[in-house]
């Protein structure tokens, strides 16, 4: 059970329209910070305690750089918006210096083998992660109206970093997507007839601007949950999208069943999408746009997979 203080922090983040996963992550690290300081109130802590906590994460727990950065972001938020006493910009702590991992990439045959082993109920979202390079949360948050069959593309709204983009859609998935839309329509027709149904969740106060939109089919999720649930913010009855964890578990089970020795996750399908486009000669700027990367250097990591391996540097052993 969360403390009243942590519940207050959560309410503040919801009021600022933070994503559910961000709220969960920030709350986790704020709680960890409070426990590290023997439950001393954050109002009585500041730069020194934050520096000690971040150094502890690096020295004792040996967390990854991104994990340490996430903890820092949580505490920056806490002191800026909740405590009202922002941290200094020159914090001194031991930063984690683990080297960034190179992406794990599957061959086309391995992708086909993996997808074939995935539970049929979750094959389509996994195919979209590979076929369109979508992130896990981007695929589960797709809405019916985001599918553009005329131009064979998908619209991704408020992706990582709050960016919108349009990505390619495999023509082979058109039939499956239309079937999925019909399945979503069955849930919609059943829900819309219930008096207690409050419509689908709409982002950023759009529901206030267009009160009827939450009852329009196009706004409903492409991959709806199997059951209705109460909105954590309002308590209203809605049908959310499928939980992202079911796709993670499906990928893990499929990896084991297919006998792949590589460490495969949902993001591996996105990595494979980018690498296979490069192998086909697609311009790296185009791949950057498809992936939604702000910095081209983030996209260039996929060139290392190709240029440092079989398609690039030739081993001198092959000349013997």
Counting every residue, how long is the chain? Answer: 320
Half-sphere exposure of 52 toward its Cβ, with a 13 Å CA cutoff?
A: 12
Which is catalytic among the residues 26, 79, 135, 239? Answer: 135
- 11-16 contact pairs (CB < 8 A, 24+): 12/81, 12/82, 13/77, 14/233, 16/81
Main-chain dihedrals φ then ψ at residue 306, nearest 5 degrees: -80, -50
Say if CB 267 and CB 219 are below 8 A apart: no
Question: Would residue 293 show up in a list of annotated catalytic residues for this protein?
Answer: yes
Which is catalytic among the residues 143, 241, 276, 293? Answer: 293
Distance CA 262, CA 281 (A): 25
224 - beta bridge partners? Answer: 241
Which is catalytic among the residues 31, 166, 185, 267? Answer: 267
Neighbours of 210 (CB within 10 A): 11
Which is catalytic among the residues 160, 171, 178, 262? Answer: 160
Question: Would residue 220 show up in a list of annotated catalytic residues for this protein?
Answer: no
Task: Write the DSSP assignment of 107-166 as a string of letters.
Answer: -HHHHHHHHHHS-GGGHHHHHHHHHH---HHHHHT-BGGGEETTTTEEEE-S-GGG--EE
Say if CB 27 and CB 7 are below 8 A apart: no
Which is catalytic among the residues 220, 240, 270, 271? Answer: 270
Question: Would residue 270 show up in a list of annotated catalytic residues for this protein?
Answer: yes
Question: Would residue 244 show up in a list of annotated catalytic residues for this protein?
Answer: no
Say if CB 100 and CB 110 are below 8 A apart: no
Residue partners of 260: CB distance under 8 A and separation at least 6: 106, 110, 113, 114
Which is catalytic among the residues 26, 77, 197, 302? Answer: 302
Neighbours of 256 (CB within 10 A): 11
Say if CB 296 and CB 283 are below 8 A apart: no
> What is the set of active-site residues?
135, 160, 267, 270, 293, 302
């Amino acid at each position: 059970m969360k403390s009243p203080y942590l519940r207050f922090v959560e309410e503040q983040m919801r009021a600022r329209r933070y994503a559910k996963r961000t709220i969960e992550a920030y709350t986790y690290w704020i709680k960890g910070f409070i426990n590290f300081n023997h439950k001393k109130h954050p109002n009585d802590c500041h730069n020194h305690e934050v520096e000690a906590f971040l150094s502890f994460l690096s020295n004792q727990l040996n967390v990854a750089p991104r994990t340490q950065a996430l903890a820092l972001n949580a505490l920056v938020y806490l002191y800026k918006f909740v405590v009202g006493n922002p941290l200094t910009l020159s914090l001194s702590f031991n930063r984690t210096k683990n080297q960034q991992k190179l992406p794990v990439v599957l061959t086309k045959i391995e992708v086909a083998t993996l997808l074939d082993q995935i539970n049929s109920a979750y094959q389509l979202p996994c195919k979209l992660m590979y076929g369109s390079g979508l992130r896990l949360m981007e695929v589960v948050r797709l809405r019916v109206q985001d599918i553009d069959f005329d131009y064979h593309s998908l619209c991704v709204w408020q992706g990582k970093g709050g960016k919108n983009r349009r990505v390619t859609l495999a023509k082979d998935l058109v039939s499956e997507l239309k079937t999925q839309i019909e399945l979503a329509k069955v849930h919609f027709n059943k829900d819309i007839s219930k008096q207690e149904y409050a419509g689908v969740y709409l982002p950023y106060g759009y529901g206030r601007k267009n009160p009827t939109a939450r009852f329009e089919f196009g706004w409903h999720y492409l991959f709806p949950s199997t059951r209705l649930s109460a909105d954590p913010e309002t308590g209203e009855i809605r049908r959310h999208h499928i939980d992202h964890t079911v796709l993670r578990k499906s990928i893990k089970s499929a990896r084991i069943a297919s006998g792949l020795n590589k460490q495969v996750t949902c993001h591996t399908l996105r990595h494979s999408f980018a690498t296979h486009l490069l192998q086909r000669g697609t311009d790296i700027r185009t791949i950057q746009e498809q992936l939604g990367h702000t910095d081209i250097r983030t996209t260039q990591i996929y060139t290392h997979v190709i240029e440092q391996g079989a398609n690039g540097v030739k081993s001198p052993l092959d000349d013997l």
